[in-house]
Amino acid sequence: MCLGLPMTIVETDGVSALCERRGEQRRVSMLLLGEVPVGTSVLVFIDSAVRVLDAEEARHIDDALDGLAAALEGKSFEHLFADLIDREPQLPEFLRAADTLEV
């Protein structure tokens, strides 16, 4: 299984970027996104930046990954999914719009 990781761009030449996450640095391809400024959070999948992330989305992904690790270790993890507790799951907006179309 492969996971996308939120990483922050620390330097870039437009074609590739040095990205960092929790002290680990990795050079990733920027070909799918093009020129993105230093300091931007991106979702990195198999050494390619695939999407720009806002700070909240990057935090949610980090929390989910931390929650998964905690659950696997038998530690408390519910606090890392606070945005999901006590609410019904919802489709993303782009999928909800398709629900309202008449056939």
Domain parsing of the chain, residue ranges: 1-53, 55-88
Is the pLDDT reported for residue 24 higher than 60?
A: yes
The per-residue pLDDT for range 67-93, each reduced to its tens digit, is: 999 999 999 988 888 777 778 877 778
In CATH, which of 3.40.50.11240, 3.30.1360.180, 1.10.3720.10, 2.30.30.140 is domain 1-53? 2.30.30.140
User: Cα separation of 95 and 58, whole Å?
Assistant: 21
Q: Are 64 and 38 in contact (CB under 8 A)?
A: no
Output the six-digit token pair for 8. Answer: 């922050």
Measured in degrees and rounded to the nearest 5, phi and psi for residue 88 equal -75, 145
Q: What's the pTM value of the predicted model, to 2 decimals? A: 0.77
